Amino acid sequence: MLLARLAVAAGLDVVLSNSRGPETLADLVAELGDHARAATPQEAARAGDLVVATIPLKAYEQLPAAALADKTVIDTMNYYPDRDGAIAGLDTGDSTSSELVQRHLADSRVVKAFNNIDFRRLSTSARPSGAPDRSALPLAGDDPAAKVEAARLLDALGYDAVDIGTLTDSWRSQPGTPVYVQPYMAERPEGLSREEAERWFFQTPGVPVPVDRVKELVDAATR
């Protein structure tokens, strides 16, 4: 939803979908304006030049593989066992979550991106190309051309891109790694009440994380 907002602001046309049906997205579409419409997941998949998959990881096998064939699919998903339930291969580190997504979308080109920044900073830290306080985000994928496409989208939406390798390498931006979420946020003061913490989360500007810092953080990841 936040990505759709950034995309519309960048002049792109977006087609949104969810599991409950296009009519449930009417308010959001109205708010986004003429560059947005809603459709079923199959229709949205077919409509997109680039498709962003942002659903709970536990539902990844519901992504419409046939409709997504030959497309570049940006996977923003993360694995949280408490939320997603245990997914075979992920707790052992045998596979990255994006490798599972790629296996399901065998005829698509999966690029992992946007997974390591929280939705609030995603919108407030976006900056035009060349801005001194622009942040960078890691991306990973097995298809070089798809990564170029994804990097172009990042650029249009307000971010530099750092290619961190293949989907196998994408563990370096998964939850718990140095580049995951925290560097993009200011340090939260101690002792906040629940309401204060919520206000802090929504009102505190992000911290710019430039290309070189992303590279350092990604290199510092350990398993």
Ligand X SMILES: NC(=O)c1ccc[n+]([C@@H]2O[C@H](COP(=O)([O-])OP(=O)(O)OC[C@H]3O[C@@H](n4cnc5c(N)ncnc54)[C@H](OP(=O)(O)O)[C@@H]3O)[C@@H](O)[C@H]2O)c1
Q: What distance, in Å, lies between the first and last C-alpha atoms of the chain?
A: 32
Residues 164 and 139: their CA atoms lie apart, in Å, by: 6
Answer for the pair 95, 159: CB distance below 8 angstroms, yes or no. Answer: no
User: Does 56 participate in binding ligand X (rule CB under 6 A)?
Assistant: yes
User: Does 20 participate in binding ligand X (rule CB under 6 A)?
Assistant: yes
Question: Where does this chain touch ligand X (CB under 6 A) — which range of 73-81, 104-112, 146-154, 157-165?
Answer: 73-81
Query: Which residue's CB is nearer to ligand X, number 59 or number 69?
Result: 59
Residues 36 and 214: their CA atoms lie apart, in Å, by: 32
User: Does 223 participate in binding ligand X (rule CB under 6 A)?
Assistant: no
Best CA proximity match to 61, nearest among 109, 28, 101, 11:
101
Residues 48 and 9: their CA atoms lie apart, in Å, by: 17
Q: At what angle do helices 2-9 and 144-157 cross, to 10 degrees?
A: 80
Site residues (CB under 6 A) for ligand X, limited to 96-125: 115, 118-119
Q: Closest approach of Cβ 121 to ligand X, in Å?
A: 8
Q: Closest approach of Cβ 78 to ligand X, in Å?
A: 3
Exposed e or buried b per residue across 134-144, where buried means at least 16 C-beta atoms within 10 angstroms of its C-beta:
bbbbbbbbbbe
> In this chain, which of 3, 7, 29, 57 binds ligand X, going by CB under 6 A?
57
User: Does 78 participate in binding ligand X (rule CB under 6 A)?
Assistant: yes
Answer for the pair 1, 32: CB distance below 8 angstroms, yes or no. Answer: no
Q: For ligand X, which residue has the nearest CB?
A: 19
Answer for the pair 146, 223: CB distance below 8 angstroms, yes or no. Answer: no
Q: Closest approach of Cβ 100 to ligand X, in Å?
A: 12
User: Does 62 participate in binding ligand X (rule CB under 6 A)?
Assistant: yes
| DSSP count for the chain of H helices, then E strands | 9, 7
Question: Where does this chain touch ligand X (CB under 6 A) — which range of 76-84, 125-133, 134-142, 205-213?
Answer: 76-84
Question: Where does this chain touch ligand X (CB under 6 A) — which range of 29-37, 74-82, 126-134, 158-166?
Answer: 74-82
Query: Which residue's CB is nearer to ligand X, number 11 or number 172?
Result: 172
User: Does 40 participate in binding ligand X (rule CB under 6 A)?
Assistant: no
Residue ranges that bind ligand X, judged by CB under 6 A: 18-20, 41, 54-57, 59, 62, 76-78, 115, 118-119
